Each structure stands twice: as C-alpha cells, then as structure tokens.
Structure 1
Amino acid sequence: MTSLKRATLLFTVLFLITGFVYPMIVTLAAGFLFPNQAHGSLIVDNENRIIGSTLIGQNFTAPQYFQSRPSASGYNATSSGGSNLGPTNPVLLELVDNRKNALQKAGVTDPIPSDLVMASASGLDPHISLESSLIQVPAVAKARNLPEEKLKALVLAESVNSPFSGAYVNVLSLNKALDEMDQ
C-alpha cells in the first residue's frame, strides 16, 4: 500500500510541476524576454490595428502589391499543409501553369522563379526569394506609378540575407513598407 501512496504522490507532484509550474514559468519568461515573438510576431498598421504576422503568409492579389508564395491551404493557419501532389501530377502542373499565366497577366515578364508558382510545404510561408521580389518590381511600379529604381531600393532594404537559405523578403512587411511610402 505504501508503494501506491508513493506512486500517487509522485504522480501528483510531477503532474503539477510539468503540467502547470514549468509551462507557466516558460510562458512568463518568454513574454518578458521575447514579447514580440511570444505574442505571435504581429505586425500593426499606422492606426495600431493588427494586420498580420511575420510568421504567416497572406494572399495579395491586387496589382499594386507584391504577390506572396502560393498556398495549398488557402493561407489558413488552422489547416496548414502542402498539396501532396507529385511533380508529374496533372493537377499540380495545371496549378503551376495557371499561376504562371496570372503572373504574366499582372505584368511579370522575366522567367518566373518556382517559389511564385509552387506552394510551400506548410502553405503558410511568409517569404519569397529576393529574385521573386525583384522580378515583380516593374509590374508593381507600373500599378503604383512609381519609379522602378525607388521600388527596387525598397525591396533591397526589406530583404534579409541568410547563409542557409539565401536572400529572401517577407511579403507582408514589404507591402506594408510600400503602403507607408505612399503616405
């Protein structure tokens, strides 16, 4: 009987420590040390309204904005995931062709990088390559009636160079900076 009491006591103590005390300490420490990340890396506009997160991609379809990487989940964070379509699947090939045609219709003329026509594994990737941003500059500049060089400078200022994944741009941050430029 003493073994059962000890086991129950040990279970209760460990349950309280691992189920409540430890998570509370980690949550409080994260909120104190990394408040932006602990609260979802949210981006706010000039009126202090939440417009998104630096961690979750959004769909931009208006010609005056840079286009995001396609999403197999419809940019829905509750159901993230890839399409699971193989490289020779006719459905995937049709999707890629439709996306390519839409970009060309929007004014993108250069060879189109794969991250603008193929969805990421999560379907929520908020970044596109620097190359994908730069080939959209002429179309966005035309839609906003801005000089291409000014827009190119903004893209380069918003880019991040990673030794692991190369240069990339957060599309929401870039489009927010673009809107702020107009003000």
Structure 2
Amino acid sequence: MLSQIRPAIVMIVLFTLLTGLAYPLAITGLAQLAFHDAANGSLIERQGVIVGSRLIGQNFVADHYFHGRPSATSAPDPNDASKTIDAPYNAANSGGSNLGPTSQKLVDRVNAAIEAEFAAGRIDVVAADAVTTSASGLDPHVSPQYALAQAPAVAAARELPVSRVRALVESQIEQRMAGFIGEPRVNVLELNLALDELR
C-alpha cells in the first residue's frame, strides 16, 4: 500500500510545484520582459499619476470632454443588496445588458439615448455607438463618426476652433490592425488627454 501512496504523493507535490508555481512564474517573467506595458494593464501615466488604462473606458460626463459610448455595467444597490444600480464603466462588474434586438426595454433605452443626445445639443448625427452599449460595458473606444460629431460641442465648451478639435480627433484615429482586422476607432481617454494638452 505504501509503495502505491508514496509515488502518488510525490507526483502531486511535483506537479503542484511545476504547474502551480514554476509555470506561472515563468510565464509572468516572460510577459514582463517581452510585453511589459501590456502585462501591467496598459496604464497611462501623466506627471507621475496613473490616470487610466488604454483598455478600460471611463465615464466622461463634462461638456468639455469627449464622451464614450454608454455602459451597461452595474453595482449592488447600497440600500438593497438584492438589487443593482447603474454604475457606468464599473470594471468590477463587466458585462452587457443582454437585451436582444426584439427587447422593448432596449428599444426604449436607445430611443431615450437618442433624444438625450439631441436635447443636450452635443451632436447633430447619431452614430450607433453613441446610443448602444458594448458587450463588456468597458469599451474604451468610439467610432471616428461619433468622436467627430462631438467635436463642435467640445470646441464650444473649451472655446477652441472647431477645425482644431476636428484635426485632433483625426490625429487620434487608430486604423484597422494589419489593414483588415476590426474597425477604425478612437480611444476616448487618450483623446481627452490630448485635448487637455491643447490648452
């Protein structure tokens, strides 16, 4: 019996050390050497302060900043733990709304968002990503169409020429990877940081 238990215990210890300790440490070390920025969250730092990540959107609501797309993330209601409240760009609770195209709740939410965009006077053309959420609720990008539609309102709020703000947006457009993967996009945090530097 002992002759069968000893090899089993040795194998458990060996593979625990190999797959539970050595392998994760090796992969972590390799990632730090080869992809240091990505392995640490693609953080953006300004004047020694971390202001965000290139990979996670933020909820910009001020008129003098470009806004990201709506976020469907939520958080527990502090008054009733059995319910949730809207918490845009809550990285601790990533997820979409799970509302299908035939959902009346989705239709009502999109129509309300369209009316709110026009009422705020921020845009005159509604891009799809201006009123729909992403699958994660944390998308850091908007379409160039949505960013350019916001340029006049942002320029007015900052008292800058619209042409200057549009040129900034165009300089921030990221093209398709390898020329055919994905869509052109604008990282909202990076755009707003570049906008702050225009002062």
TM-score by length of 2: 0.86
Task: Tell me the equivalent position of 1:112.
Answer: 126
Larger displacement relative to structure 2 (166-175 or 90-99): 90-99
Distance in 2, Cα, partners of 1:65 & 1:139: 9
Amino acid at match of 1:130: P
Query: Secondary structure of the residue that 1:37 maps to in structure 2?
Result: helix
Distance in 1, Cα, partners of 2:188 & 2:117: 16
Q: Does 1:149 align with 2:166?
A: no
Deviations 1:43-93 (A, max 9, x none): 122x32111111101111111111101110021111100111122322222
Aligned-residue Cα RMSD (Å) equals: 1.4
Task: Tell me the equivalent position of 2:27.
Answer: 26
Q: May I ask how many residue pairs the two structures share in their alignment?
A: 181
Deviation, 1:153, is: 1.1
Task: Tell me the equivalent position of 1:178.
Answer: 195
Query: Secondary structure of the residue that 1:50 maps to in structure 2?
Result: strand
Unaligned runs of at least 5 residues, structure 1: none
Distance in 2, Cα, partners of 1:108 & 1:88: 28
Deviations 1:98-121 (A, max 9, x none): 222222233244331111111101
Unaligned runs of at least 5 residues, structure 2: 74-87
Distance in 1, Cα, partners of 2:163 & 2:172: 14
Deviation, 1:165, is: 1.7
Deviation, 1:42, is: 0.8
Identity rate of aligned residues, in percent?
46
Amino acid at match of 2:27: V
8 A Cα contact 1:106 1:139, kept in partner: no
1:16-95 matches, cutoff 5 A: 16-45=17-46, 47-73=47-73, 74-95=88-109
Deviations 1:3-61 (A, max 9, x none): 3322221121111111011111111221222221111111122x321111111011111
Distance in 2, Cα, partners of 1:90 & 1:78: 28
Kindly indicate which of the two structures has a greater share of residues assigned to helix. Answer: 1
Task: Tell me the equivalent position of 1:121.
Answer: 135
Distance in 2, Cα, partners of 1:109 & 1:17: 56
Deviation, 1:142, is: 1.2
Greater than 3 Å deviation, 4+ residue runs: none
